[in-house]
Amino acid sequence: MIFTENIKEVGEWDILVAGGGVAGVAAAVSGARAGKSVVLIEKTVNLGGLATNGLINLFVPMCNGRGTQIIFGLCDELLKLSYKYGWTSMNDSWKNGYEVKNGRMVAHYSPAIFSLAMVELLRKEGVTLYLDTVLDNAVVNNGKIDGVIITSKSGREYIKAKMFVDATGDADLLYRAGVPTADGKNYFTYAAKGINKDTVKRYIETNKMHTMYRNCMGGTANLYGGNHPEGRKFYVGVTKEDVTEYITDNQMVLLENIKGMNPDEFDLTVLPSMPQFRTTRRLDGDATFTVDDAYKHKDDSICAICDFDRKDYLYEVPFASLVKTGYKNVISSGRCTSAIGYGWDVVRVIPPAILTGQAAGEACALAIESNKPIYAVDIKTLQARLEKNNVIIHFDDALIPKEQADEPKEDNGHF
Ligand SMILES: Cc1cc2nc3c(=O)[nH]c(=O)nc-3n(C[C@H](O)[C@H](O)[C@H](O)COP(=O)(O)OP(=O)(O)OC[C@H]3O[C@@H](n4cnc5c(N)ncnc54)[C@H](O)[C@@H]3O)c2cc1C
């Protein structure tokens, strides 16, 4: 069957960011602050992605586990934004910058308030935002994306840009543009939120609003596949059938779990409004970040990061894990960064996802100014610009421990 339709062209921006999760928001802010016009396309009606719509509400550790903050840049700014108007579980030592002796730098936040605050931020930075708008396809000529087709209430439309950031978490843009990608696999996990008499009592005792919510689970598999039901398939999440099966299978388990609860004493208050996949599709980039990169300095580092699950471990994320030579004007970010195994786990959580987004936005601006393909931007200039915006590019060797505290982690089996 041949379909014909008129697709209207609706404008041209310097940078188009696909996906409004934390990585996309960071990319948009960083591109806008570098003086570029930016449009951000988000398929849901809220900003934040998994970190808000997915009901994940925890900035995992941004420190080395010994009192030193490692992750700064836009991540530090977004962390502060997350509690600008609401509560945070972060302790006062980290918050106010006085000496931290114990405990890692983690913070729970309110997904809803964080999401609203990100809208305010994008408005302040002059980013054009299209919500409830899906990036549908890419028009590519000679290794260069000319524009993308979006679908919204206005129908199907064509948007042009000079540079493109894939922050969809699913590498939708990279895949549609023909850039090499790789698939992952997911264990059976589903978390919703509810309240009951006990949690309300807990709230009254603690005076902390977040203690009022309890996790209500469908699948309960953890990061490493523990609790993944025997014989159940692994889900990839790149077809409508697989996505729907993953969500509805989980929802039916959740329903079973709440059947029989007393409706006068329990309410299921919120369901995630996007699939809670950890990994779907990611870039197969010029470099692939792995856990073996621990303690190695990278000439093309775009940020130093720590390990959310293990004290001491430090890494540098190579610029080459965001790009693919030959694809001139598209860059990856967030959980579609080119990475594998436990290394992927380290780089895709909220703090590093924000930093890769920040680097992607800045690299786009630099590529436009220097009239170079994105994979050929001058790394030293990019690093200098990121440093100017509070990103730590190389970790301090003095922080490498003499003796390793935590054992290396098992591969998560996601790939
Ligand atoms: C069960 C689970 C628990 C986790 N726990 C934690 C935790 O405690 N702490 C932590 O730091 N991290 C945790 N993570 C990981 C973390 O939440 C994510 O890796 C991180 O938020 C990814 O951010 P992102 O911006 O790269 O992608 P996403 O959050 O996936 O954002 C992508 C955005 O793009 C949009 N989008 C997708 N496709 C399109 C399209 N075609 N057109 C337009 N828009 C599109 C989506 O709607 C979404 O808003 C967890 C993840 C899962 C699944």
Written as tens digits, the pLDDT of the chain (415 aa) is 666 678 999 999 999 999 999 999 999 999 999 999 999 999 999 999 999 999 999 999 999 999 999 999 999 999 999 999 988 888 888 888 888 876 899 999 999 999 999 999 999 999 999 999 999 999 999 999 999 999 999 999 999 999 999 999 999 999 999 999 999 999 999 999 999 999 999 999 988 887 888 999 999 999 889 999 999 999 999 999 999 999 999 999 999 999 989 989 999 999 999 999 999 999 999 999 999 999 999 999 999 999 999 999 999 999 999 999 999 999 999 999 999 999 999 999 999 999 999 999 999 999 999 999 999 999 999 999 999 999 999 999 999 988 766 666 667 777 7
Cα dist from 185 to 55, 252, 280, 311, whole Å: 20, 21, 7, 27
CA-CA distance, 303 to 26, in Å (whole number)? 14
Nearest atom within ligand 1 for CA of residue 24: 25
Pocket of ligand 1 (CB under 6 A): 18-24, 41-44, 49-51, 56, 58, 60, 134-135, 167-170, 172, 189, 274, 276-278, 334-335, 348-350, 353
Nearest atom within ligand 1 for CA of residue 50: 29
| Degrees, nearest 5: CA angle 411-52-293 | 30
Expressed in angstroms and rounded, the spacing between residue 77 Cα and the centre of ligand 1 is 18
Expressed in angstroms and rounded, the spacing between residue 177 Cα and the centre of ligand 1 is 21
Q: What residue type is assigned to position 310 of the chain?
A: R
Report the nearest-CA residue for atom 26 of ligand 1.
334
- Which of 136, 168, 181, 309 has most ligand 1 atoms within 8 Å of CB, for mutation? 168
Expressed in angstroms and rounded, the spacing between residue 308 Cα and the centre of ligand 1 is 16
- Which of 289, 350, 356 has most ligand 1 atoms within 8 Å of CB, for mutation? 350
Exposure on the CB side of residue 222, measured as CA atoms within 13 A: 4
Report the nearest-CA residue for atom 12 of ligand 1.
349
CA dihedral 272, 235, 237, 329 (to 10 degrees): 120
Expressed in angstroms and rounded, the spacing between residue 147 Cα and the centre of ligand 1 is 24
Expressed in angstroms and rounded, the spacing between residue 397 Cα and the centre of ligand 1 is 31
Report the nearest-CA residue for atom 52 of ligand 1.
278
pTM of the model: 0.97
Lookup result for tokens 């130093």: 304
Which helix (H) or strand (E) is 254 found in, with range? helix 240-258
Cα dist from 30 to 9, 126, 227, whole Å: 26, 11, 39
Nearest atom within ligand 1 for CA of residue 59: 11
Report the nearest-CA residue for atom 30 of ligand 1.
169
Q: Give the single-character DSSP code of 321.
A: G
Q: What are phi and psi of 283, to 5 degrees?
A: -65, 140
Q: 39 with 20: CB under 8 angstroms?
A: no
Query: What's residue 3's pLDDT?
Result: 64
Which of 50, 48, 52, 194 lies closest to 111 in space, CA to CA? 52
Report the nearest-CA residue for atom 6 of ligand 1.
56
Q: 288 exposed, middle or buried (CB, 10 Å; 0-12, 13-18, 19+)?
A: buried
Nearest atom within ligand 1 for CA of residue 168: 34
Expressed in angstroms and rounded, the spacing between residue 168 Cα and the centre of ligand 1 is 8
Looking at beta carbons, which pairs linking 10-13 to residues 24 or more positions away fall under 8 Å? 10/154, 10/157, 10/158, 10/159, 11/39, 11/159, 11/160, 12/147, 12/159, 12/160, 12/161, 13/37, 13/38, 13/39, 13/128, 13/159, 13/160, 13/161, 13/162
Tokens standing for 186?
A: 């997911």
CA-CA distance, 357 to 322, in Å (whole number)? 10
Report the nearest-CA residue for atom 7 of ligand 1.
58
Query: What's residue 6's pLDDT?
Result: 83
Greatest alpha-carbon pair distance for the chain in Å reads 68
Render the burial of 163-179: b for 16+ CB within 10 Å, e for the rest.
bbbbbbbbbbbbbbbeb
Expressed in angstroms and rounded, the spacing between residue 292 Cα and the centre of ligand 1 is 24
Expressed in angstroms and rounded, the spacing between residue 48 Cα and the centre of ligand 1 is 8
Q: 89 exposed, middle or buried (CB, 10 Å; 0-12, 13-18, 19+)?
A: middle
The residues of the chain that CATH labels 3.50.50.60 are 8-184+281-399
Q: 170 with 186: CB under 8 angstroms?
A: no
Query: What's residue 101's pLDDT?
Result: 72
Strand pairing of 144-152 and 155-166?
A: antiparallel
CATH number of 8-184+281-399: 3.50.50.60
- Which of 22, 50, 115 has most ligand 1 atoms within 8 Å of CB, for mutation? 50
Nearest atom within ligand 1 for CA of residue 46: 49
CA-CA distance, 64 to 72, in Å (whole number)? 13
Nearest atom within ligand 1 for CA of residue 276: 53
Expressed in angstroms and rounded, the spacing between residue 335 Cα and the centre of ligand 1 is 7
